[in-house]
Amino acid sequence: MAAEIERKYLVLDDSWRKNASIGSVFCQTYLMARKSRFVRIRIIDNARAFLAIKFRTSALRREEFEYEIPYLDALEMASHSTALVEKTRYEVDCCGYCWQIDVYNGPYEGLVIAEIELENESVRNPHPPWLGKEITGDPNYSNRAMAAATSMSRSANARVTPDAQIFGVNELV
């Protein structure tokens, strides 16, 4: 088991791209999601797959169990869920930290979020010039909430806006 301590921010502009790695395409779906725990399947670049089980223990901290699983098994498991989020992830080394920048596709196109993992909850992370408002803990920007909202809107073929109010989706997947 590993603890995951992270902060999330909106990204103001594309200036981070000059230091970014080549992006990896992530497709993730949620098999089970509740307010403080979830089970996720993540497929990376249509080649590798991971199963993650996470338990929130505080505002910034989650206990995380993550395992690489066979790609075909991931596809089969993912076929049982319509709660999906798609994004391209880049890594940016900045200010002594590795930032993960997620550029969302599909109904969240245009949304860009930066995440930073920290050693402990009291660490004050740097603020590069491209970093915007902190959204840590905001359920509107939770991948599982966005995936659930996408699932709900699929039948209506609607575009889900990143700042839309999402009510109670943590219990819907």
Distance CA 88, CA 82 (A): 19
State the pLDDT confidence band at 16, using cuts at 50, 70 and 90: very high
* 83-124 per-position pLDDT tens digit: 899 999 999 999 899 999 999 999 999 999 999 999 888 888
Domain range for 12: 2-171
pTM for the structure as a whole: 0.84
At 59, list the tokens. Answer: 């505002």
Residue 31: exposure state from Cβ atoms within 10 A (0-12, 13-18, ≥19): middle
Average pLDDT across the chain, whole number: 86
At 62, list the tokens. Answer: 């989650």
Cα dihedral sign for 7, 8, 13, 19? positive
Q: How many structural domains are present in the chain?
A: 1
Residue-level pLDDT at 33: 84
Instruction: Please give the positions annotated as active site.
Output: 30
* 155-167 per-position pLDDT tens digit: 444 444 443 333 2
Instruction: State the CATH number of the domain containing residue 159.
Output: 2.40.320.10
